[in-house]
């Protein structure tokens, strides 16, 4: 689907096995008092593909929104590489940690796909040849070069989801976070997206209820429940433990 070399074009962490993301003692409560994260600890190595699993209300989406500073922790910290997320670093962190939301229409709002893909890197100061190169790479990486000048409203759901992914890839993130990437996709679109994700060299964090898709994409799984990590291990080890899955309302 793509002739682009993602190793040459995406941000990567050079130190093999180095921590790409470190979450320590993370706590967060919503204004109504709901405790969404309760002292959560998590380390993700550079290049790992990690599935974040758990029942509704476990804290998965809340965790995702902390990784690039959309939400601010009540306690604890998030580090990306050696950089601690804070008021002075949030802009840099948002370029290094890209989030692809479940609804692609949250990220597609320009008249054409190409303009949508250029929006993020332009905001981060990219101009000229560097901008054109990043946009072209991102479109090719997701198989959307031939639809670059089409309105997102004329795309299928699978195409819109790939276009939304391209808007994030164009910023050259080191860490890619996806929220339910395969939700409501037909089998062909699911396979196309899986092939794209498996080819990317970035650290990948995937929040999903789709256990077979998690097994296909990721090598590690963590289960959240009650705002804490209750299981962490190899994807096969976690998903083959029927008792564990049942205990946390996963099937």
As a three-state string, the secondary structure of 169-202 is HCCCCCEEEEECCCCCCCHHHHHHHHHHHHHCCC
For residue 10, name the pLDDT band (cuts at 50, 70, 90).
low
Q: Where are the domains of the chain?
A: 6-247
- Do the Cβ atoms of 43 and 22 come closer than 8 Å? yes
Rounded to an integer, what distance in angstroms lies between the CA atom of residue 98 and that of residue 173? 6
Predicted local distance difference test score (pLDDT) of residue 17? 60
Q: CA–CA separation, 90 vs 70, rounded Å?
A: 9
Sheet strand arrangement including 19-29:
35-45, 19-29, 75-80, 83-84
User: At how many degrees (to 10) do helices 157-169 and 187-199 cross?
Assistant: 10
Token duo for residue 81: 């590489």
Say what percent of the chain tops pLDDT 70. 93
User: H helices within 10-74, ranges in order?
Assistant: 60-67
pLDDT of residue 195: 97
- Look at residue 70 and give its three-state secondary structure: coil
What single DSSP character describes residue 228? E
pLDDT in tens, 176-198: 999 999 999 999 999 999 999 99
3-state secondary structure of 97: strand
Is residue 4 over pLDDT 80?
A: no
In this predicted structure, what is the pLDDT of residue 251? 77
Residue 199 phi/psi, 5-degree rounding, is -85, -10
> 6-247: what fold?
Rossmann fold (3.40.50)
pLDDT, one tens digit per residue, over 17-31 is 689 999 999 999 999
């Amino acid at each position: 689907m793509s002739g682009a070399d993602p190793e040459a074009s995406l941000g990567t962490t050079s130190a093999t096995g180095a921590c790409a993301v470190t979450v320590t003692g993370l706590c967060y409560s919503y204004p109504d008092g709901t405790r969404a994260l309760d002292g959560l600890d998590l380390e993700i190595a550079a290049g790992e593909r990690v599935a974040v699993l758990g029942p509704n209300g476990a804290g998965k989406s809340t965790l995702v929104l902390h990784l690039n500073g959309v939400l601010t922790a009540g306690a604890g910290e998030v580090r990306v590489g050696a950089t601690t997320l804070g008021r002075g670093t949030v802009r840099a962190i948002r370029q290094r940690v890209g989030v692809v939301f479940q609804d692609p229409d949250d990220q597609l709002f320009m008249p054409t796909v190409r303009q949508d893909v250029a929006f993020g890197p332009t905001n981060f100061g990219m101009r000229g040849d560097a901008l054109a190169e990043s946009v072209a790479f991102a479109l090719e990486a997701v198989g959307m070069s031939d639809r670059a000048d089409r309105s997102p409203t004329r795309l299928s759901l699978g195409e819109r989801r790939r276009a939304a992914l391209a808007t994030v890839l164009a910023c050259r993130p080191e860490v890619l976070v996806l929220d339910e990437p395969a939700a409501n996709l037909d089998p062909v679109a699911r396979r196309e997206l899986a092939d794209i994700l498996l080819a990317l060299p970035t650290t990948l964090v995937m929040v999903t209820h789709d256990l077979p898709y998690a097994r296909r994409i990721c090598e590690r799984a963590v289960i959240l429940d009650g705002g804490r990590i209750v299981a962490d291990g190899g994807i096969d080890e976690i998903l083959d433990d029927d008792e564990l899955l049942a205990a946390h309302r996963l099937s």
